[in-house]
Amino acid sequence: MTAHWHETAVNLDDLWEGDMTAVKVDGEAVLLVNVDGDVHAYSNRCPHQASPLDEGDLDGQTLTCAKHLWEFNAVTGCGINPDDARLKRFGCRVGDDGTISVDTGP
């Protein structure tokens, strides 16, 4: 396991609680989600048909893809409906200055 940490252009100040945003990191489309102050990073492609998840909706902990209404828990990445789906998670950390970094390592 080799970590590949990349600083993103997103600062925690720009990603409010309940918000999400898409960034390109190391060629990957990454979704950054702020749930109750904790930032999570996932592949921005819905596991169903690869639609961009940032065009969907975040309500509390529930992330909904706008294409076909697949729902995910934005904290665990696990599917809610259908419940056997799962988001691809990336490592994610917030620096002292608020900079959000993502690990795109294998």
Q: 54: closest CA among 78, 74, 82, 26?
A: 74
Q: How far is the CB of 22 from another protein (least distance, A)?
A: 14
How far is Cα of residue 79 from the mean position of the Cα atoms in its chain?
14
Output 78 or 93, the one with its CB closest to another protein: 78
| Stretch 46-65 residues interacting with another protein (CB under 8 A) | 47-50, 55-57, 59, 64
What does the longest C-alpha to C-alpha distance in the chain come to?
A: 38
| Spatial separation of the C-alpha atoms in residues 100 and 91, rounded to whole Å | 11
Q: How far is the CB of 8 from another protein (least distance, A)?
A: 23
Q: Which residues bind another protein (CB under 8 A)?
A: 16, 47-50, 55-57, 59, 64, 66-69, 82-85
